[in-house]
Amino acid sequence: MQDLLDKFKAGETRGLARLITLLENEDPSHEKLLQELFHRTGRAYVTGFTGSPGAGKSSLVDQVVKTLRAEEQTVGIIAVDPTSPFTGGALLGDRIRMQEHALDKGVFIRSMGTRGSLGGLAKTTKDVVKAMDAFGFDRVIIETVGVGQAELDIMHVADTTVVVLTPGAGDAIQTIKAGIMEIADVFAVNKCDLPGADKIAAEVAIMLDQQCQHDKWRPPVVQVSCLTGQGIAELAEAIKKHRVHLEEKNILAPRRRERIRKETLEIATHKWRQKVFNQLELPGRVNELLDKVARKEMDPYAAAYEILGHVTTADGRTK
C-alpha cells in the first residue's frame, strides 16, 4: 500500500487510477487509504452536472472542461453510468464524448457504474472525489447518471450544482415540482438550437421569480449548445460567479465543515449497524432480546436500548 501511496503523492496518474479502483471496490485497505488522503483534501472546487437521460450532460462537461483548460486549470472528471440490474455490468460510455481530452495530462477521466445505488451517484463517488482532490486537481466535475426528480445525492457532494434541461422535456408544471429543480445553483438549457429552448428558459425564470428570496443567490438560466458552442463561456462564468458568491458570503467553508460532520456521523452509524448485525450471527443477549420482542414480552424500544448496551466494542469487550 505504501508503494501505491508514494506513486500517488508523486503525481503519477497510474497511482491515482489504482487507488480509485481500490476505493471503488471497497478493498479492505480502503479505510486506511482514505485516512491517509484526508489531510490533503479540501482544495479542489467540485461542480456537479445532473439532469435527465439524454440531456447532453457529457457533451456539456466536455465543453466546460475546454474552457477550464484554456485557463490552465487541471480537472478530474467522474462520469457515473447506470449498472444493469440483470448482469451487474455497465457500459461506461460517457467518456466517449470526452475523447478530445484523452491525451491531455491536465485532465483525468474516471467512469463509474452505480452498482445498484440510487440517488444519481455510486456509493463510493464521494471517496473518488476525495482521491482526485488529494491528488491536486484544481477542479473536480461529477456527471451524474441520468436522473429523475428525486435523485438528489449530488447536492451533498458538489459545491456548485448545474441542472441540465432540454427543450421538449416537459411543460411548465415540471418547473415547479419539488426535487431536482430546487437543488440547482445554475440552470443550463442545453440544445438551445432546437425549438422550445426560449420557452423552457422563460418558464424556469418565472419559477425563480416566484420562489427565490431576493437576498440569496438566484440561479442564472443559461442557454447553451454543444453543437454551436453558444453559451458555453457564459455557463463557465456563471459557475465561477456562484463560487465567488459562496466565498464572499462565507458560505462555502461552513458548508464543507458541516458535510464533514455529517459524514463522520454516517460512518459512526454504519459501524454501529455492523456491530449490531454481527451479533445476530452469535448466540447471546441480542438474539434473546429479539425473541422477547417477537413474543411480545418486551417492547421494541426497551429492547433496542438494551441491544445498544450489549454491543461489543472492536476488541470484543462488552460495553
Neighbours of 135 (CB within 10 A): 24
Q: Is the pLDDT of residue 119 over 90?
A: no
Q: Cell 485497505, residue?
A: 29
CATH architecture of 41-249: 3-Layer(aba) Sandwich (3.40)
> Model confidence over 19-46: pLDDT tens digits?
999 999 889 999 999 999 999 999 999 9
> Model confidence over 260-280: pLDDT tens digits?
999 999 889 888 888 888 888
* Amino acid 150: pLDDT: 59
Mean of the pLDDT values across residues 277-288? 85
What is this structure's pTM? 0.86
Q: pLDDT category, 91, cuts 50, 70, 90?
A: low
- Beta-strand ranges (E) seen in 84-216 are 107-113, 139-143, 160-165, 186-189
Cell numbers representing residue 107 in the block: 485532465
Q: Confirm if 200 and 165 have CB atoms less than 8 A apart.
A: yes
Q: Residue 272 phi/psi, 5° resolution? A: -65, -40
Most confident of 50-54, 175-179, 208-212: 50-54
Question: Which sequence spans correspond to the domains of the chain?
Answer: 1-40, 41-249, 257-310
Cell numbers representing residue 60 in the block: 456539456
* Amino acid 318: pLDDT: 46
Mean of the pLDDT values across residues 159-179? 72
Q: Is the pLDDT of residue 102 over 90?
A: no
Q: Which carries the bigger pLDDT value, residue 310 or residue 219?
A: 219
* Amino acid 250: pLDDT: 95
